Structure 1
Amino acid sequence: MTLKVIVFDFDGTLADTYDAFIEIANSLSEEFGYKPVNEKEQENLKNLSARDLIKQSEISVFKIPFVLKRLKSELTSKIKELEPIQDIPHCIEQLKSQGYSLGIITSNAEENVLSFLIHHELEQFFDFIYAGTTLFGKHKIIKRLLKEKQLLSHEVMYIGDETRDINSAKKSQVKSVGVTWGFNSGEALAKHQPDFLINSPYELMKILDNSQYNLMDKQSHANSLTI
């Protein structure tokens, strides 16, 4: 089995947007009627799935699409202030030089993603962007990617920082990599059993250099290969 395509989540995986999202979400809390998060509570958020977070915030499910739309809109004004996750640019360049096709699947707005990539001179490394997905709809986009690009599931790997990213990859039957530098903690991600769980971008390179990768099957579970 040969890996051909590596797909990244954007927020928290490629771009360090955590603090900006918390700031914007808190600024919208009164308008949309949910609890703001104080500094002490922020660390606990990393152990919650998106569904648990929504439940804890006590926001009406009917308001969520409108909150997400405003979050994306507000982020537009901050996007050029944001930095890539440390070491991500170099790793992306290395992956591209090794012949992998790189892409992004995100619930953020395409204009935000493109603005960020252009600002940091990263746009040339990515072959496609699927943006504006629903909060829990990434698996549908991954399946669409497989169909449109005529790819087999074992030819694609999805990398994300949230439990919903891991679940989306599993639903799509593609390999999943959970990263601990984003929204969810390593403990929370591990509970959802990603194929790999990494603590730095360079550990992704180690995974791909591991000769065992191409031999993995259903019986060789990821946790034994976690770095």
Structure 2
Amino acid sequence: MKFVLFDFDGTIANSLDRIEHVINQLADKHGFKRLEQDSLDELRSLTIAERCKRMGLPLYKLPSLVLEFNSLYRQDMSGMQPYAGMKELFGELKAAGYRLAVLSSNSEPAIRTFLAAHGMETDIDHVYCTKSLFGKHKKLRQFQKDLSLTAADLIYVGDEQRDIEACRKARVRMIAVTWGIDKPELLEAGRPDKLAVTPSDIPRYLEEFGFAPA
């Protein structure tokens, strides 16, 4: 079996507006800087540590704020839409014989509800989630173990530098996408295996990898 694993927020789902809204709720509550559209655009070029410094948010508070962020974020995802071309990409990959999965730091119920609302749930074979902001490499290894796969049987598609780092730790090849949270220059600095500008790039990259479905 060959699996293409996708991140959810910023890769499948266009979540930037929702992220901005929830961060500003937390900023008002905890006293760090609010995001405006121009500052959000600037922060997308920075690492997580640099973003925290720019917003006046001590790093030691990040773990507890991530938990609070996730709780607020999942309360209302109804306004989010898939990125253009993602539904068609899923159909193309499934028709070619690939197995698809989601590996995300969001929650499985929230992801499945979103996929069902947009007619994409039947394309996804598995949903794996981690509560840790930096724990995806462990879930990638667990995914391999649970399905008796090797790292060579997986390609991960994500939109953040931390996704690149997780894949490097798990020795999984990675396609970074430029339409999500992190800007292209930040992704390029992380040295992903490939950098996709549109969803239509992904089948071509799978072919270049020699990653045939069977």
| TM-score with structure 2 setting the length | 0.92
State the Cα distance separating 1:52 from its structure 2 match. Answer: 2.3
Match of 1:181 among 179, 182, 207: 179
For 1:51, give the aligned amino acid.
A
- Secondary structure of the 2:81 match is coil
- Secondary structure of the 1:80 match is coil
Equivalences for residues 135-154 of structure 1 within 5 A: 135-154=133-152
Identity, % of aligned positions: 29
In the aligned structure 2, how far is the partner of 1:45 from the partner of 1:161?
14
State the Cα distance separating 1:43 from its structure 2 match. Answer: 1.3
In the aligned structure 1, how far is the partner of 2:164 from the partner of 2:137?
10
In the aligned structure 2, how far is the partner of 1:84 from the partner of 1:45?
22
Equivalent residue for 2:55?
57
| TM-score with structure 1 setting the length | 0.87
Q: Deviations over 1:175-200 (max 9, x none)?
A: 01110000011111000100000100
Equivalences for residues 216-227 of structure 1 within 5 A: none
Match of 2:107 among 106, 109, 115: 109
**Structure 1 contact 110–132 (Cα < 8 Å) conserved:** no
In the aligned structure 1, how far is the partner of 2:31 from the partner of 2:144?
39
- Secondary structure of the 1:104 match is strand
Equivalent residue for 2:116?
118
**Structure 1 contact 32–67 (Cα < 8 Å) conserved:** no
Structure 2, gaps ≥5 residues long? none
In the aligned structure 1, how far is the partner of 2:37 from the partner of 2:97?
42
- Secondary structure of the 2:101 match is strand
Match of 1:129 among 123, 127, 147: 127
State the Cα distance separating 1:62 from its structure 2 match. Answer: 4.1
Equivalences for residues 1-227 of structure 1 within 5 A: 4-210=2-208, 213-214=209-210
Structure 1, gaps ≥5 residues long? 216-227
In the aligned structure 1, how far is the partner of 2:117 from the partner of 2:5?
20
For 1:118, give the aligned amino acid.
A
- Aligned residue pairs: how many? 211
In the aligned structure 2, how far is the partner of 1:182 from the partner of 1:126?
20
**Structure 2 contact 3–101 (Cα < 8 Å) conserved:** yes
